[in-house]
Amino acid sequence: MRGCRFHCSADWTPEAADPARALRGLKIGWLGNLNGYLAMDDGVLQVCRDALGHMAQAGAVVEDIALGMDPGELWDCWLTWRRALVGPRVHALIGLPGAREAIKPEALWEYEGSQGLSFLDFMRASQVRSRYYQHMRGLLAQWDVVALPSAQVWPFPVAERWPRQIAGRAMDTYHRWMEATLYATLAGLPAISLPAGFHAQHGWPMGVQLIAAHSADALLLRVAAGYEAVRGDFIALRPQE
C-alpha cells in the first residue's frame, strides 16, 4: 500500500494551518539584562526587544519582569558545577606526556579551580541549583516563556579567543561573556534561540532566547514557527558581507 503524502487528521493542529496562532495570548516575560547585572554591548537589548515587539503585534503579551533570584549566587553555583564536571575530565589527561602543554589555558584554569572544591562546596551549589529550579517552576507558571538575549556581545574577530571587556566591564573568566546562556542550562530547562536582528551599522546578527518550563519543548517549537511566520521577510535576509 502506498504511503499517504499528507498527515493524518490526528496530527493536525490549528498552528499547523496558521503558525502565528501560537503567538496569540502567549505570555512572555522579558528579563533583559537582569536589571543591569549582565554586561551587554550597545544595541543588543534594543534588537531583542524589537524582535519581541513583532511577537506582541501578532498577539503575544510581553512584559518586563525580574528574575527574582540573585544572579551572582547563580553564577557562583554554576561555576562550582562547571569546575566539578570539567576538572575530572582534565585530570584524566593531565598526567599524560606533553598533555599540560597541549591543554588550553582556560581548561587548565578550571582544572586548578576544581582542586580546591570540597564536598560541602558542591552540596551548597546543589542546594542553590535545586532552589533555582523550583523558583523557575514558579516563574514559568506565570509566564509561558521568559526571554533573554542569546548573546551579550556582537560577533567578534575570529582571532580573539574571547571578549575581555563588554561595555567597559572586565570579564573575569572566559565564560563570563556568555553568562546569559546559563539560566536555562542550570535549571535543566528547554530553550530556543531565534534570529532577532542586525547591528545598525555593521550588520552583525543577534538572537533572542526563549526559555520554557520543563518538557515544554513542543511549545517552544510552535512559538518559533509562529515567529518565523510573522517575520518571514526578515528571516530571509542575510548579514552584509
Amino acid 102: pLDDT:
87
In a domain, 57, yes or no: yes
Measured CA to CA, the distance from residue 101 to residue 37 in angstroms comes to: 36
pTM of the model: 0.87
Asked if the structure places residue 91 within a domain, the reply is no
- Check if the beta carbon of residue 180 is closer than 8 Å to that of residue 186: no
Buried b (16+ CB within 10 A) or exposed e, 139-163: bbeebbbbbbbbbbbbeeeeeeeeb
pLDDT at 108: 85
In a domain, 8, yes or no: no
Instruction: Quickly state the pLDDT bin for 10 (edges 50, 70, 90).
Output: very low
120: in domain:
no
Q: How many domains does the chain have?
A: 1
CA 220 to chain centre: 13
43-68 pLDDT tens trace: 999 999 999 999 999 999 999 999 99
**How far is 100 from 92, CA to CA, in rounded Å?**
11
Nearest CA-CA partner of 206 in 197, 214, 215? 197
Q: Which residues, 6 or more positions from 194, have their beta carbon under 8 angstroms from its beta carbon?
A: 51, 207, 208, 209, 210, 224, 227
Which CATH number covers residue 65? 3.90.1300.10
The residue written with cell numbers 510552535 in the block is: 222
Residue 109 is assigned to a structural domain of this protein: no
pLDDT band at 24 (very low <50, low <70, confident <90, very high): very high
Q: What is the pLDDT of residue 3?
A: 41
Q: What is the pLDDT of residue 213?
A: 97
Alpha-carbon dihedral 88, 175, 235, 20, rounded to 10 degrees: 80
The answer to whether the beta carbons of residues 179 and 151 sit under 8 Å apart is no
Mean pLDDT of the chain: 90
Strands 61-64 and 27-30: parallel
3-state secondary structure of 192: strand
pLDDT tops 80 at residue 7: no
Which residue in 90, 110, 118 sits closest to 102, CA to CA?
90
Q: How sure is the predictor about 13, in pLDDT bands with cuts at 50, 70 and 90?
A: low
Is residue 96 included in any domain, yes or no?
no
**Res 92: pLDDT:** 86
Is a pLDDT exceeding 80 seen at residue 17? Answer: no
Domain range enclosing 139: 23-69+133-233
Is there a domain that residue 226 lies in? yes
> Cell triple for residue 73?
549566587
pLDDT tens column, 121-140: 999 999 999 999 999 999 99
> Quick check: is 206 in a domain?
yes
Spatial distance between the Cα atoms of 190 and 204, rounded to a whole number of angstroms: 26
Residue 47, classified by CB atoms within 10 Å of its CB into exposed (0-12), middle (13-18) or buried (19+), is buried
pLDDT in tens, 143-157: 999 999 999 999 999
